[in-house]
Amino acid sequence: MHGVEGSILKSLFFIVLTSLLFITHAKADDSLHQPWQQLLSSHVKSINHGVSTAVDYSAFKKQHAQLKGYLSTLSDVTQAQFEQWDNAQQLAFLINAYNAWTVELILTEYPNIKSIKDLGSFFSSPWSKEFVPLLGETRSLDNIEHTLIRGSGEYNEPRIHFAVNCASIGCPALREEAYTAAKLDTQLEQQTQRFLADITRNYVKDNTLYLSSIFKWYQDDFENNFRDTQSLQAFILLYPDALNLTPSQQAKLKSNTMKVKFLDYNWALNDNQ
């Protein structure tokens, strides 16, 4: 009897300890990204019936010290600390880092730019510029997205393409809140549906599905067995309601008899002015 009771007590102790660790991690996650949350909720506004957002870079510039303070806390996170986190904590951290440092990059020349591309040169894109002190190295935005997120093999998460923001009108919306581990799956799902529902970026006309160039540039990511999907069409069919696809259109996509074309990308700054 004592052996059974001991096993039960050990199981209960493990459950309580696991729950406490989850709560502690969630609180730490929320606390770390709270300054970014405050900036986003104040300076990012929903537009176009909620499918996209506009960023008040002027207001961000007035609170540049707060942004720099948040970036400093991200830089203080060590590789060892990062590796102790679960995948959701890591991914939320990396997405927030990418977005916050993108805003910081824009502010280096704002208001004297019309596009993030103005910050690059003939020989170097703004995304290859190494200016981000993160996880023990000075990194570029490309390094965060393509090495730490996409190239790590840890996440297999194509929905990050609707979360990382390149400060352009053609991009998926910069979310009005910080990403956190506790809400990450819901946030990514909402961002995906939001982007697909934006008829300026994705729509069906006649027998052709017009999609953002994001789906062309990163097509492999959308065909990498996310939720058992192995084609771009199959990924799109996970979200038929967002695109208002009729049963007939869904059938054509499934049978690969609907044409797919990719739209030009709008690189103009996603400013609210």
Query: Residue 150 in 3-state DSSP?
Result: coil
Q: What is the mean pLDDT of residues 165-189?
A: 97
Q: Would the pLDDT of 21 be above 50? A: no
Q: Which residues contact 25 (CB under 8 A, 6 or more apart)?
A: 85, 86, 89, 181
- The 8 Å CB, 24+ separation contacts for 245-250 are 245/204, 249/204, 249/209
- What pLDDT is attached to residue 7? 53
Q: For residues 18 and 58, which has the higher predicted lDDT (pLDDT)?
A: 58
Phi, psi of 60 (to 5 degrees): -60, -40
Kindly indicate the confidence band of residue 266, based on its pLDDT and cuts at 50, 70 and 90: very high
Question: Residue 123: its pLDDT value, please?
Answer: 80
The DSSP 8-state label assigned to residue 249 in this structure reads H
Q: How far apart are CA 224 and CA 150, in angstroms?
A: 12
* pLDDT tens digit sequence for 210-252: 999 999 999 999 999 999 999 999 999 999 999 999 999 999 9
Please tell me the predicted confidence (pLDDT) of residue 24. 40
User: 51 with 244: CB under 8 angstroms?
Assistant: no
Residue type, 43: H
How crowded is residue 200: how many other Cβ atoms within 10 Å of its Cβ?
13
Task: Compute the distance between CA of residue 131 and CA of residue 138 in angstroms, rounded to an integer.
Answer: 6
Q: Are strands 52-55 and 208-211 parallel, antiparallel or unpaired?
A: unpaired
**44 closest CA partner among 138, 199, 146, 173:** 173
Position 5 scores a pLDDT of 59
pLDDT value, residue 121: 82
Q: How far apart (Å, rounded) are the C-alpha atoms in residues 227 and 43?
A: 34
Picking from 161-165, 217-221, 269-273, which range would have the lowest pLDDT averaged per residue? 269-273
Amino acid in position 141: L
Residue in this structure with the two tokens 């390094």, named with its chain if needed: 143
Residue pair 169/180 in contact by the 8 Å Cβ criterion: no
Predicted confidence (pLDDT) at residue 2 exceeds the cutoff of 90: no
Percent of the chain at pLDDT exceeding 90: 85
Confidence of residue 18 (pLDDT cuts 50, 70, 90): very low
**Residue 207 pLDDT class (50, 70, 90 cuts):** very high
